[in-house]
Amino acid sequence: MPHPHRRLKRSGLTMPIVTDRFISNAWHRGCDFINMDLEDSVPPALKGYARSLVRRSIPVVNKGGADAVCRINHDLMEADLDAVIWPGMVHVNYPKAEYGHEIRRMDEIITRLERERGIRPGTIAIGANIETAVGVANAYEIASASPRVRDFGGASGYDMSRDLGVEMFVGFDQFVYGKGEVELAARALNLEPRAAPFTPNITGSVSDPDRAFAEADAARQCGFRIGGGLHPFVVEPQNRGFTPNDAEISDAHWVLDEYRKLAVSNETWVQIDTQSLTPGDGPGPLDSSDNPNLRHRVIDRYEAARAAELLEWARLCADRDREKDEAIARVRAAADADAT
């Protein structure tokens, strides 16, 4: 079910806000969001300088239609919030969230700053990121601490590995329990789960486009909608991987057609051997010749709900892509006008 505040987050680049060449050039990469980092990629001596850059960087990263997002420091939360809550900002990532009271405090500060600075109340979302064992233990309390927490996930990645004292790139899933706790909390609270199926990775590469596509595609097919990365090479593959392709859209229309037939039959489900169908002009099911799991398809209210969600998601993706294309075209047209 799309959240009323849902903003697409298929792709996003996280970059140190103090590195001007990253911030200045990120807008034309096609990201759904750009995450300006004040935390781990900014050395302690530059934290104050980093804060001074946020307000003026928001329009820079917004130029290509990307949402402005930032990641603040766990231990400098109040000072950082004062520097980042400005018009144009839509989401603040709070790393290493461990207690509900941290999120409630953030909510109070953001609520005041939104009103002081002319931002529509409730605009800014909180990314309460679970990256420690304490955070896992308090996952439900954290996720339920503020309505600004709209998507929720974590319990894996660099910081979690460090907290548990384990190597991150081992080729199997080390975080089944913690990720399960966090995802169950998200789902129990009706938040968008920020998760992905496990795919083995022993290289730790952050710039491999094929891998980025495969991961995004697997995540989307598992029902997940949120990506993000560190290298420009992964942006386009993530946008593509998180967007339904034409065959899937046709399949969703086929499922809904079959469900409409089922609904008048007083049966609750039917199984269809898709290889027994003669291809017609209308929408048809996914090709099962490469994937025998797709041959016998059940049609029921669950499949219909998935199909409807997929079509809604495809529409949102298309709208978002158009929005970004138009924004980038506007910047380029303005630049051309300046040049002549």
Partner 1 sequence: MPAANQIRRSWLLVPASAAPRIASAPASGADVIILDLAEFVAEPNKPDARDAVPAALDSVKAGGAEVFVRIDPQLMLADLNAAIRPGVAGVVVSRLESAAQIAEAAALIDRLESQRGLLPNSVEVVASLETAAGNHNGFEIATASPRVTALTLGRADLAMDLRPEPSGEIHLMQYLMQRLITLAAATGKLPLGAWWRAPDRGLLATPENTLAAAQRGRAIGFRGSMCVLDNQVAPLNDGFTPTAAEVAEADAIQSAYAAAVQSGAASVVHAGGRALTPNLVRQYAQVSALAAACAIREEFKSAALSGRPIPLP
Q: Which stretch binds partner 1 (CB under 8 A): 9-17, 85-93, 217-225, 227-235?
A: 217-225
Q: Which stretch binds partner 1 (CB under 8 A): 195-203, 226-234, 316-324, 327-335?
A: 195-203
Q: Which of 25, 52, 199, 205 binds partner 1 (CB under 8 A)?
A: 199
**Contact string (CB under 8 A) for partner 1, positions 244-273, x = contact:** ----------------------xxxx-x--
Q: Which of 80, 90, 95 is nearest to 120 (CA)?
A: 90
Q: What is the DSSP letter of 78?
A: H
* Neighbouring residues of 261: CB distance < 8 A, sequence distance ≥ 6: none
Taking the C-alpha atoms of residue 144 and residue 104, their distance in angstroms, rounded to an integer, is 10
137 binds partner 1 (CB under 8 A): no
Taking the C-alpha atoms of residue 109 and residue 183, their distance in angstroms, rounded to an integer, is 27
Q: Which of 187, 211, 231, 240 binds partner 1 (CB under 8 A)?
A: 187
CB 62 within 8 A of CB 27: yes
CB 125 within 8 A of CB 156: no
Taking CB under 8 A as the criterion, which residues in 158-177 touch partner 1?
176-177
Taking the C-alpha atoms of residue 302 and residue 300, their distance in angstroms, rounded to an integer, is 5
Cβ count near 313 (within 10 Å): 22
According to DSSP, the β-strands at 33-37 and 12-16 are parallel
Q: Which of 276, 278, 293, 340 binds partner 1 (CB under 8 A)?
A: 293
Q: Least Å distance between CB 223 and partner 1?
A: 5
Q: Least Å distance between CB 28 and partner 1?
A: 32
298 binds partner 1 (CB under 8 A): yes
- What are the residues binding partner 1 (CB under 8 A)? 140, 176-177, 179-181, 183-185, 187-188, 197-199, 218, 221-223, 266-269, 271, 292-294, 296, 298, 300, 302, 305-306
